[in-house]
């Protein structure tokens, strides 16, 4: 701030082991404004109209390669998968980030929308599911074609309202992301996150969106632009069965932060699952670790079950957060 026809297994049964590591097939896909996006797809040899394709939306300034092991896992368990980088990041990075017009809303309304269009074209007739990490869960609500999403799983998904940060970390995170990051961006023309060991280098427009102290997404700079065009944000297009997973030791994904974003998905059926690291015999998980292969046996089956059935298995760790 990571594959064979779907097996007919009940969600509580043991899942297939990961195959020998094989990367997805790389692709380039133009967004509606012509910007060329890079990504990877995991595709089964035989098309099956009942097999869902899963689009994975990355966290802010995290490369899509971070989710490759998770994509392998979904592929091994019967899904086609698409991963991609937002403009300015990883496979979608131009030679220079200085002067690149890119915002959070561009990442959702243009880049994620391009992946929805690609999925409908390349996997014609197949159901479309989405997994969104951190801002990637917010991006899932910004595509004009959001109505095609059947099931949505988000992990630590929010849009960085500073008062929602965990109290024990709030002031340090406020200084880091809302003071130092925008100042460095003003000096460099983009945020040199890679040099600092914080994130990938990040376009200035994304930094402006992130660092604004606004409790409402439509009050962020690029959110205002979307709202001004239509009088509303696109989140209401999404009517998916939605599971929001949060970890109790994630300083970004607090209950208020998760619920703030879920409040925008007004036409979805929303379930918020709160997990303590101790629920899976771990001391800590945090904001980024969910997609590491160390959690294949404990956390990944939760997402897998939801993507398959739209339900939580009876033995799912954690507790449901009551909706207000």
Count of domains observed in the chain: 1
pLDDT (0 to 100) of residue 20: 36
* 257 located within any domain: yes
Q: Per the domain annotation, does 176 fall within a domain?
A: no
Q: How many residues does the chain have?
A: 324
pLDDT score of 324: 72
Neighbours of 14 (CB within 10 A): 8
What CATH number is given to the structural domain containing 261?
Answer: 3.40.50.1820
Q: Is residue 49 part of a domain?
A: yes
Alpha carbon distance 75, 81 (integer Å): 7
**Does residue 255 form part of some domain?**
yes
Both structure tokens of 27? 């692709």
Q: Which of 133, 102, 136 is nearest to 206 (CA)?
A: 102
Phi, psi of 91 (to 5 degrees): -70, -10
Cα–Cα distances (Å) from 165 to 170, 173, 257, 261, 271, in that order, read 5, 8, 7, 14, 21
Say which residues have a Cβ less than 8 Å from residue 297's Cβ, sequence separation at least 6.
Answer: none
The total of other beta-carbon atoms located within 10 Å of residue 25's CB is 10
Cβ neighbourhood burial of 236 (10 Å; 0-12, 13-18, 19+): middle
Burial class (CB in 10 A: 0-12, 13-18, 19+), 220: buried
Vertex 159, ends 136 and 270: CA angle to 5°?
A: 70
Among candidates 131, 115, 124, 111, which has minimal Cα distance to 56? 131
Is 178 among the domain residues? no
> What DSSP state is assigned to residue 5?
P
Residue 59, in any domain of the structure: yes
Q: pLDDT tens, position by position, for the chain (324 residues)?
A: 433 333 333 333 334 444 434 458 999 999 999 999 999 999 999 989 999 999 999 999 999 999 999 999 999 999 999 999 999 999 999 999 999 999 999 999 999 999 999 999 999 999 999 999 999 999 999 999 999 999 999 999 999 999 999 999 999 999 999 999 999 999 999 999 999 999 999 999 999 999 999 999 999 999 998 998 887 899 999 999 999 999 999 999 999 999 999 999 999 999 999 999 999 999 999 999 999 999 999 999 999 999 999 999 999 999 999 987
Residue 20 in domain? no
Other C-beta atoms lying within 10 Å of the C-beta of residue 184: 18
Q: Which class for 211: exposed (0-12), middle (13-18), buried (19 or more C-beta within 10 A)?
A: buried
Q: Which domain holds residue 40?
A: 25-166+217-320
Q: Is 207 helix (H, G, I), strand (E, B) or coil?
A: helix
Per-residue model confidence (pLDDT) at position 231: 79
Q: Which two tokens stand for residue 278?
A: 């101790």
Question: Domain for residue 230, yes or no?
Answer: yes
């Amino acid at each position: 701030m990571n594959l064979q026809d779907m097996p007919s297994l009940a969600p509580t049964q043991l899942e297939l082991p990961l195959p020998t590591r094989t990367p997805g097939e790389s692709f380039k896909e133009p967004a509606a404004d012509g910007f060329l996006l890079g990504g990877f797809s995991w595709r089964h040899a035989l098309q099956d109209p009942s097999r869902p394709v899963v689009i994975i939306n990355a966290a802010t300034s995290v490369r899509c390669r971070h989710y490759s092991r998770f994509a392998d896992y979904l592929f091994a368990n019967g899904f086609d998968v698409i991963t991609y980088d937002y403009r300015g990041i990883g496979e979608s990075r131009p030679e220079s980030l200085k002067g690149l017009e890119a915002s959070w809303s561009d990442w959702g309304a243009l880049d994620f929308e391009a992946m929805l269009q690609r999925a409908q074209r390349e996997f014609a007739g197949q159901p479309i599911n989405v997994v969104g990490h951190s801002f990637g869960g917010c991006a899932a609500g910004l595509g004009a074609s959001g109505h095609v999403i059947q099931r949505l799983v988000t992990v630590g998904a929010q849009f960085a309202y500073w008062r929602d940060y965990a109290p024990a970390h709030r002031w340090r995170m406020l200084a880091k992301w809302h003071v130092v990051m925008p100042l460095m961006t003003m000096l460099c023309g983009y945020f040199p996150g890679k040099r600092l060991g914080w994130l990938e280098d990040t376009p200035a427009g994304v930094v402006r969106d992130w660092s604004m102290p606004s409790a409402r997404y439509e009050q962020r700079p690029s959110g205002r632009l979307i709202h001004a065009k239509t009088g509303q944000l696109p989140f209401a297009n999404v009517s998916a069965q939605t599971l929001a997973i949060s970890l109790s030791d994630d300083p970004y994904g607090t209950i208020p932060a998760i619920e703030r974003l879920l409040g925008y998905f007004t036409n979805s059926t929303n379930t918020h699952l709160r997990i303590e690291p101790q629920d899976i015999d771990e001391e800590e998980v945090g904001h980024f670790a969910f997609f590491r292969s160390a959690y294949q046996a404990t956390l990944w089956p939760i997402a897998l079950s939801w993507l398959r059935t739209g339900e939580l298995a009876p033995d799912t760790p954690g507790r449901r957060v009551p909706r207000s």
